[in-house]
Structure 1
Amino acid sequence: MTWPLVAIEATNLTDDRATGVGRYTRQLVEALSTLDVPAPDEFELLQLCKRSRWKLRDRLAQGPRLRAQSWYGAIWPLPRPACKVLHVPDEREPPWNVPVVATVHDLYAALNINYVDESKRQRKLRFYEHLRDRCTRLVCVSENTRQDFLRLVGGDPARLKVVPLGVSPIFRPHSAAEIDALRARLRLDGPYLLFVGATANKNLARVVEAFAAGRFTRDFSLVVAGQQSAEVLASLTSRLATLGLASRVHLAGHVGDADLPALYAGAAAYLFPSLYEGYGLPILEAMASGTPVLASDRGSCPEVAAGQAVIVDPTDVDALAAGIAATLAMPADRRAAALAHARARTWAETARGTLAVWREAMAEA
């Protein structure tokens, strides 16, 4: 029997350091590879990699149902495989006349968030319009992102489908020994609050102010994970010195994927007062680690948290300080409910939802 072939552009899996979209692509492909489906619904998945990265093809996902092929750009395209659907998770798109499904992760460019280069923002805006006009279906990672796309870009609402993201099983409660080993590697002493992020929307400056205002420095340190820019580091270092917090804020820089789960699990609270998120997967990753979460009332954060986090106005420092205190005081039964909520969000369900969207696209071809 010949199974339908679906091609997914997976060049981002060859990047030296995984981006959020790269993690999405890998988790989705791996979940699709092992997805249990009835025989009539079987399919084959082709990972596409640009010719310039083909030498790094060993970084592509491995597993059943998977094979790989390289492709050139628009000027020298390789012959198109006999695929029924092409899935595009980022801006790389083979120029083939085939039904296209794309993933919409966020609307940062349309909202002018995290962009300092206007030419790049305009290019992204044109890409949104391309998706609206070109794609048979669009996978939106949250209802908030779907509504943002319809409001800011437009399109047929029936073609935009919400498929929430899953949580990797590597995010789980860790033993004391595992956490102690991480503390030793990162030179962390005593209980800590955790902040992860290096973009403007993550709201680090206000987190530091709330950490100082709430007088948490008496009992906790604040661990900041993420490779901050030189400009942010200079401003942050100066402000920490003014507040007398230089010894209470640990700037961990980039934390690798191998250490991040234990870093979540060891935190007394995870602080995620983002000004905007297309999804906000770290909310669920922290919950799945057994850590109570502070999240903002903006973007998709309340949708993803689903009542299992402390929700605050991220622009109000006093509200943030009160929210941190409430997060630290979260009772055991609510933490258990948050853990159960996060564990129910699996990549297998994301794969099933994505496959359903592909089948809709095939039916219209």
Structure 2
Amino acid sequence: MSRPPVFAIEATNLTDERGTGIGRYTRQLIEALSALQVQPQDEFEVLQLCKRSRWPLRERLAQGPRLSSRMWWGPVWPIPRPACSLLHVPDERQPPWRVPVVATVHDLYAALNINTGDEKKRQRKLRHYEHLRDGCARLVCVSENTRQDFLRLVGGDPARLKVVHLGVSPDFCPREAAEIDAVRTRHGIAGPYLLFVGSTPNKNLARTLEAFAAGGFARDFTLLVCGERSQAQGEALASRLAALNLTDRVRFVGFVSDANLPVLYAGAAAYLFPSLYEGYGLPILEAMACGVPVLTSNRGSCPEAAAGHAVIADPEDIAALAAGIGEAVAMTESRRAAALAYARTRTWEATARGTLAIWREALAER
């Protein structure tokens, strides 16, 4: 009996102290691949690769059946390369091996000049897009919108760009009142609140504050804002809140752990996500999976992620955003239930199976 194929995945981002969105994607994908039930003839192994500089933190890599891990050292490789059939690259780190490569395209921020204040980094990212276009057997796009953006802005063979939507972790689910109250107490939240998560410009916080003020929601709600910010950002926001007379009605709680975030979702009267651009918009589904109504935008992949189950508004129109917040807060129980049911259909198992199918397709082509 021949040995199952070994699919290597660059997993150094799993060693980060605070996981990024791509880090969460990598972990959830690997753990779902580990848990997949397949026929004996379809069995496979997953090799997690970690750069030499992070190898001492390898205990943070995923654990489970069919998983193993190895260090890599590039661009020079002074020790034998572990045998693998294919390499998957979820971010910019890539071992210089001559095997078929599949990469994930999460977004086109750099090509759209969004969230890219450093021009050198933007140009490096643009070169990375071109490298993916020219060097990968297949590209996994997290949404059809991202796929279309890549084809329009970078180019490439449409047949090699495949869409595999992201899943929602089971951690995102409705919570008991006692659990919600405990997290509210921990963060000093009194009374009903609306939730906003994010710190990058595309998340559109400034206009969200304007809409919160314009709609008079401060009478009934606190706006809870999660995400780390620089001192300069904090000072600018404090000045804007004072001008809007919202100083006492907006709470900044900084970084929120993965353990607390689902509970904060579940306790919110609505989740506000009027993003100017998203590669996928996973928080939309995460909030819906917690039973919370969502306001999002008509830009990027947000409508694709919401699939008709969120309130959609123009993210640059303050009046439209204010009206959308009101509609989200008043969302009927039947519509919330439909959104929850839809979010539960988006699983990491499906993401893993879709990714595995693309790996096998790339191997078959070779």
Compute the TM-score of the two structures, normalised by the length of structure 1. Answer: 0.99
Give the structure 2 partner of residue 63 of structure 1.
Answer: 64
Task: Write out per-residue CA displacement over residues 23-69 of structure 1, whole angstroms, 9 at most, x where no aligned residue.
Answer: 00000000000101111111000000001111100000000000000
Give the distance between the partners of 1:322 and 1:52, measured in 2 at CA.
50
- Encode CA deviations 1:86-107: one digit per residue, 9 max, x unaligned: 0000000000000000000000
Determine the structure 2 residue equivalent to 1:280: 281
Mapped to 2, the partners of 1:310 and 1:244 lie a distance apart of: 26
Written as runs of structure 1 = structure 2, the 5 A alignment for 1:167-182 is 167-182=168-183
SS in 2 for 1:116: coil
- The answer to whether the 8 Å contact 1:77/1:95 transfers is no
Q: Name the CA distance, whole Å, in 2 between partners of 1:350 and 1:318.
A: 37
The sequence identity of aligned pairs, in percent, is 73
In the other structure, the counterpart of 2:222 is 221
Letter of the 1:118 counterpart: E
Query: Corresponding residue for 1:237?
Result: 238
Q: 1:320 and 1:209 mapped to 2: Cα distance?
A: 9
Partner of 1:151: 152
In 2: Cα distance, 1:86 partner to 1:194 partner: 38
CA–CA distance in structure 2, aligned partners of residues 95 and 54 of structure 1:
18
Q: Which residues in structure 2 correspond to 1:57-206 (within 5 Å)?
A: 57-206=58-207
RMSD over aligned Cα atoms: 0.7
Q: Which letter does structure 2 place at the counterpart of 1:35?
A: L
Q: Which residue of structure 2 lines up, in the alignment, with residue 54 of structure 1?
A: 55
Aligned-partner SS, 1:209: helix
State the match for 2:336 in structure 1.
335
Q: State the AA in 2 paired with 1:38.
A: Q
After superposition, what is the alpha-carbon deviation per residue over 1:174-221, rounded to whole angstroms, capped at 9, x for unaligned? Answer: 000000000110000000000000000000000000000000011000
> 2:239 & 2:215 partners in 1: Cα distance?
20
Aligned to 1:349: 350
SS in 2 for 1:70: strand
Residue 228 of structure 1 and its aligned partner are, at CA, apart by 1.7
**What is the alpha-carbon distance in structure 2 between the residues aligned to residue 158 and residue 49 of structure 1?**
30
In the TM superposition, what is the alpha-carbon distance from 1:350 to its structure 2 partner? 0.2
Cα distance in 1, alignment partners of residues 78 and 144 from structure 2: 35
SS of 1:239's equivalent? Answer: helix
| Alpha-carbon shift at residue 258 of structure 1 (Å) | 1.1
Whole-Å separation in 1 of the counterparts to 2:297 and 2:231: 26
The Cα shift of 1:70 comes to 0.3
**Residue 230 of structure 1: how far off its partner (Å):** 2.1
- Partner secondary structure for residue 49 of structure 1: strand
How far off its partner does 1:229 sit?
Answer: 2.2
Matched AA of 2:236: S
1:114 aligned counterpart, secondary structure: coil
Distance 2:145 2:37 in 1: 29
What does residue 303 of structure 1 align with? 304
C-alpha contact (below 8 Å) 1:194/1:222 kept by paired residues? yes
Structure 1 runs (4+) deviating above 4 angstroms are none
Q: Is the contact between residue 195 and residue 270 of structure 1 (CA under 8 Å) also seen in structure 2?
A: yes
Partner amino acid, structure 2, of 1:130: H
SS at match of 2:247: coil
1:364 Cα deviation after fit: 1.4
Tell me the number of residue pairs that the alignment of Structure 1 and Structure 2 aligns. 365
**Distance in 2 between the 1:93 and 1:193 partners?**
40
Flag structure 2 segments of 5+ consecutive residues without an equivalent.
Answer: none
* Contact map agreement 1:71 1:77 (CA 8 A) in 2: no
SS in structure 1 opposite 2:262? helix
- Cα drift, residue 77 of structure 1: 4.9
Which residue identity is paired with 2:90? P
In 2, distance between residues paired with 1:26 and 1:243?
Answer: 41
